[in-house]
Structure 1
Amino acid sequence: MYSKSKKSLSAIPLLSLLLLSLDASATQVVDGCYATHQQVNISAREQNRLAIDGRRIGTVVPSQKGVISYVKDEQAGALYFTLASDTPNSGTVTLFVSDEQNPAATCKLILVPRPIAGEEIIIKPPAESRTSAAGRKGGDGRALAYQRHAKDMILQMADEESRDLEPIPVNQEIPLWKEARLVMLSKYLDGDLVGEKYRLTNVSDTDMLLMEQELYRKGVVAVVIENHTLPSKGQTLIFIVRGRKDNE
């Protein structure tokens, strides 16, 4: 599925990740998170504030259930959150954030816990032309439904207790490169989409950094990685949703 000539994941020391993440003592303004994942620092122990510039937060879905505790400021449309008490503060957490004005557009944030004071994170929504807004309102909503369908599949694959989809056991190792071992655990069929659940193990002697956008290929609709930073011999679950082929 993945060739060695085109590595889908990058393995770099965790120290490099921390050096790339500059300490922020003021508000962090995030731009471009609707197109690709953006990394932000958060306090590992104190409350953090999340808001969308000029809009109200609609939904916030973490990649791992129960990983954050939060209180929504209904008046301001913002979110105050902290890591749950049993959440490791040495890894990262992905948040999928949408606003009330355009719930189909999703901002993807990679939260990096740091031993710092509480942070304020302001998301800049994407610019929208009048033409695109009119097209969205006048369309039949198929694209929006498709995106919501993919998000629902991710949530159901991750939550074994409440899911309605029946898993198809696979347990097949997918050839990757020498630093990692990738096993497809199960597959899920739902209408015109297919969900795939993987377990990736870091078999190298160094830390490994994983990014969702590096796993996108033709036909893939959504990718979620449970843990982005893996120590040596560490494991993570990966969820991929793609379009269903004619023979499936």
Structure 2
Amino acid sequence: AMDLSFSRIQCTPDLMPSDITGTMIVEEHAGEKRFRFERGPVFANIVLADEINRASPKTQSAFLEAMQEKQITAGNETYKLDAPFFVLATQNPIEMEGTFPLPEAQLDRFMMKILMDYPTVVEERAIVSRYTAASEPSVNRVIGADTLLKLQHLTREVPISEELTSHAINIVTATRKWKNLEYGSSPRASIALILTAKARALIHGRNFVSKEDIHAMAPPILRHRIILTFEAERTGVTQDQIVAEIINGVK
């Protein structure tokens, strides 16, 4: 566990932007009325937006400033968010009723899209055993905010060659002109691909980035940033298939 503040936002169609960012309330003090900003659940180190695509597009956009600028603006005041700050989100399958597709600008703010499948039989047995036992599992703190910030800084210091930097950028820019793609990825994808490749190298105990790191991180970085053409969707082509083609086609 991490020694960080955490908040969970259950997204619903009637959720308002102020339910996320906070709202101005009127207080009376010594016979004088004045406004005070009541901070919303986005003011935490880790924010979980559960079923984010059940919220309306207007409410979804309430996350934009927080995710990009690490701040919230209410009225004429700007409030900085505590570091570290990041947003996790889950979403229902798009074919389910009562869902709103996330706008491209919102999707681009998320560094990665992780696909979750059903657990294996062994994994599900472990889950059942853990949650049906007489004693609850214990959770111990393993990292604090200061250590996490130092690790984030250390990640940026991992060296990467000019050749691999160009290779990562070429993969991203190829999405903008690749067949079967209506739209490609923005420069945020290049930044995210290189940063996550550095993080993967660090996790694997290396002080340098390899081509394997870039190729391994390309699918989660790009799959939500590319839009398929109608013909590609009709024939069952997936984003991951396109990313694999690009990796194999870019030298």
Asked if TM exceeds 0.5, the reply is no
The structure showing larger relative contact order (alpha-carbon pairs under 8 Å, at least 6 residues apart) is 1
Which has the higher Rg, Structure 1 or Structure 2?
2
Structure with more of its chain in helix, by fraction: 2
